[in-house]
Structure 1
Amino acid sequence: MPASPSTARAINDRLALRLLQQEGPLTAGRLKQLTGLSRPSVADLVERLTASGLIAVVGESGEQRRGPNAKLYGIVADRAHLAALDVRTEGVSVLVSDLLGRVFAEASAPIGDDAGTGPAVEQAVALVERVAKEAGADRLHTVGIGVPGLIDPVSGELRDSSGLPAWHRRLVDALQERLPRARVSVENETNLAALAEQRDGAARDRDTFVLLWFGMGIGAAVVLDGKLRRGASGGTGEIGFLPVPGTTGLPSATDCGGGFHSLAAAGAIAGLAAECGVTAVPLAHEPRAAALVREAVDGAPSPAADRFLDALADRVALGAAAVISVLDPGCVVLAGEIGRAGGTVLAARVQERLARMSPLPTEVRASSLGGEAVLRGALLTARDRAQDELFAPAR
């Protein structure tokens, strides 16, 4: 059944807006080429989008050209301001951008374990308000938040977890109360990192891959056929609970101790470094385990560093092989502060081991977005949500 005229107009408008977002300002003639629409159809959509305040004339395509076809049209980027938050156990990072993703202000603040739930929430909310003010944002249209916890796939809310500070759950509600006109959404940090790597990072050429996150905790994000997979309860990727050989016990429903977490999380990696005789002085705000991996990779070559990296690659490959045997993703991205510190050196060692352990060909890549992956993912989801609403046809 052919689309109705109103549906066809809505589809054409969204297509034009996406092109303007991806390509930058375009002339009507260039829009005609890229969309395949007729000249009258392009003229109509330009008139509609201009009247709605979504696009505006931002220049001309050449000094010698004149007339309507020479006008450059671009998205009115300040139609909406967006905020992205990366919420960690020990603090918060915030940035504010426009509709095109141009960052106007950003800041981070530590939040100590002894702050208390109320003061911790107030610190985080005040940071968001301060960054928004510095960015010149009178109000925030959409706020995207990344957290180290499980998200209920039905409600979209952060689930209760004894392993996370109480202020994490309170923060989402507090932001919605303080910013009643903003659309506030929350997502697992590993999932956001995967979305960012898929859109702008190491997995740009892959529609199926797994991102493994190594930090204070361990997690995985699964992208199959271009879509993020969450599972029935939102727990896809909880590989810290994966039973593996080499631990002193088995994990339980409430404790990942004895699972893959006990082999490859930050605490276990620090212990492994000590066994191998690797030491390091952390940089400012650098986690100790990440500093140890960085020193082994970038420092002076030594038998101790080789032993440490080989043993670490053995551990990472053990968990990765289990994921690969079930999903066959073809590509694994190593992320989190440990994956970032290990870079291509660790990735190559893991890939070599997987080639021996599994018949399924798998490329192992290091994250190319590093510590910005979660914030980038939170911003991308905020932009998508804002654009879905703003670019929707008038009813």
Structure 2
Amino acid sequence: MTDVIVIGAGPAGLAGAIACAQSGLKTVVIDEFIKPGGRLLGQLHEKPSGEWWNGIKESDRLTKEAQDLSVNIRCGVSVYNLEKEANKWSVHTNKGTLSASFVLIATGAAEYPIPLPGWTLPGVMSIGAAQVMTNVHRVQVGKKGIIIGANILAFAILNELQLAGIHVERIVLPEKGPLSGKAGVPNEVLKSLTDASKLAPSSFLRLGGRLMKSDGLRKMAIKFFPKNGVKMNGTPLLLRKAAVEIIGDQQVEGVRVADIDAEGKIILGSEKIYEADFVCIAGGLYPLAELAAVAGCPFQYIPELGGHVPHHSEIMETPLDGLFVAGNITGIESGKVAMAQGTTAGYSIAKRAGKGGIIDDLLQQAVQNVRTVREQAAIQFHPEINDGRKKIYEQWEELYTKKQNEYDDVKIG
């Protein structure tokens, strides 16, 4: 008899399964990939302290800890539906139907595609795909590449590609359009980067970021932005150039770019071609929340969290009895935050299952730990994440006060 089914074997799912199992709940984790770890498997970066964050080692640690607690981890299992029947959740998969009193959805995030002419050529991939091919499968994606899109995710993975000896020639913006949105507007891109300037490695860059919060100063900075770009870990960021086409016969051979003004408008007659044998498109991330929608969970669109997220409380419950969420499905953040949320969800499930003892204290500590980890996060995909969290929790308190009273010893902050 299974008590908890966790959908997703990434950092949130594994951490949630561990907390459930530690609380005496029989737990099964399912994931469509061939091995557990999720996004952790592709992560490798140096923290501000000088220590290295090795996602594969972290994944191995979590997996071993879960298995030592008798968590059943089943990979290669895809979920296509889940529904509540009587007091049980039925999770329908390609390997049959599983049932449990509680379900934790920890499906993570997916990448926004930015289509442009030539994007179906061999050698074109998302920036996340390049990360997985490099760090997980140990495949060299190419010898001379271009990244289209300038955001935190692109810069983080750029560094990982460089560590693997893969040369990225330059970073350009996508052409402004309905699908690229703000990603094709230099003024908006610079604003998003300066919002994250508190994470910069030097006090000079942090000061520069604070100064660039002024719209007038940003426009001036863009006007005088160096023609050859500003180097990000050795790769030039060309903030005033946009990709209008990826060219090639049987595979990627280059990218046609054009100069743009501060608002992303193409400057006629400025086109040129940069050679490349691979292209990474960096459109950013959004919560992968389809399964919560299939289950009937209500949603709210909150840009500060990365898009549409299921209604949930700070202890990771949803309005649907027995359904919990954790990780990037609730808003785009780092792997460490996802793990902290998973632990919170696990103890929250244990509390709902009637487990006594120190569960209340553990849940309180887990909630506080999420706040602490978020505040100390080395990478923030959305600088206004705290505002987004406040919105979703205030909405929960407003809409589900009666349900929240059952957990009146856990404050929403």
TM-score between the two structures when normalised by the length of structure 2: 0.28
Structure with the larger RCO, 1 or 2 (CA within 8 Å, 6+ apart): 2
* Greater strand share, structure number: 2
* Greater helix share, structure number: 1
TM-score between the two structures when normalised by the length of structure 1: 0.29
**Greater gyration radius:** 1
